[in-house]
Amino acid sequence: MRGDLSSVLFTEQEIQARVRELAARIDQDYADKSVLLVGILNGAVMMMADVSRAMRIHCEMDWMAISSYGSGVASSGVVRILKDMNTSVVDRHVLIVEDIVDTGLTLSYLVENLRSRNPASIEICAGFRKPEAVAARHVEVKYLGFDIPSDFVVGYGLDYAGRYRNLTGLGILDPKVYS
């Protein structure tokens, strides 16, 4: 897989160190609350597994699977829920765990959807964020791993055509792979 990357942005060690910092902040902020982590399938599986295991406080976990309508390349912001949570979020402290925020449209739709179900609070934890999301400000990511360039990246749960999710670091996919 390494040969398909034009560069490595973050090694496994760098990501794990940052994840531990995020988990420590989450531990502090939710010390006296019961937090419900909601992972967005499939990309957030690695982030969810690592953040939750680096936490020292109790948490519950649930999952949603969503798909964006649109061309497949650009996010349309209209999201279809393929799998909903099993848990009710009413009066719960919800922390959405996502792999990457590109435009932020997917997450902003999801936040609005979950907010309408009356949680006690709702925040976002994401591994990576692209400049587009910073500019558009559709959502605020309280617990962010890293800001990255707008290139197409793979690894740490992020795929290209279903592959590369099991790459432990994060890298820019060499355009030769998809051109």
Give the residue numbers annotated as catalytic, written as ranges. Answer: 102
Give the number of residues in contact with ligand IMP, rule: CB under 6 A: 15
Is residue 146 at the binding interface for ligand IMP, with CB under 6 A as the rule?
no
**Options 39, 43, 127, 169; binder of ligand IMP; rule CB under 6 A:** 43
Question: CA 83 to CA 101: how far, in whole Å?
Answer: 20
Stretch that binds ligand IMP, among 17-25, 29-37, 88-96, 101-109 (CB under 6 A): 101-109
Structural tokens at position 57: 């406080």
Residue type, 6: S
Element (H, E) at 112: helix 105-115
Please identify, using beta-carbon distances, which residue of 57 and 144 lies nearer to ligand IMP: 144
CA 175 vs. chain centroid, Å, equals 24
Closer Cβ to ligand IMP, 35 or 100, answer by number: 100
Q: How far is the CB of 43 from ligand IMP (least distance, A)?
A: 5
19 touches 48 (CB < 8 A): no
Binding mask 102-141 for ligand IMP (x = CB under 6 A): xxxxx-----------------------------------
- Of 51-80, binders to ligand IMP (CB under 6 A) are 75
Site for ligand IMP contains 50 (CB under 6 A): no
5 binds ligand IMP (CB under 6 A): no
Nearest C-alpha neighbor of 114 from the set 32, 36, 29, 31: 36
Q: Which of 158, 169, 170, 171 forms a contact with ligand IMP (CB under 6 A)? A: 158
The residues that bridge with 68 in the sheet, in sequence order, are 79
Task: Supply angle C-alpha 44, 55, 65, rounded to 5.
Answer: 20
CA terminus-to-terminus distance, the chain: 17
Summarize as ranges the residues that interact with ligand IMP (CB under 6 A).
43, 75, 98-106, 152-154, 158
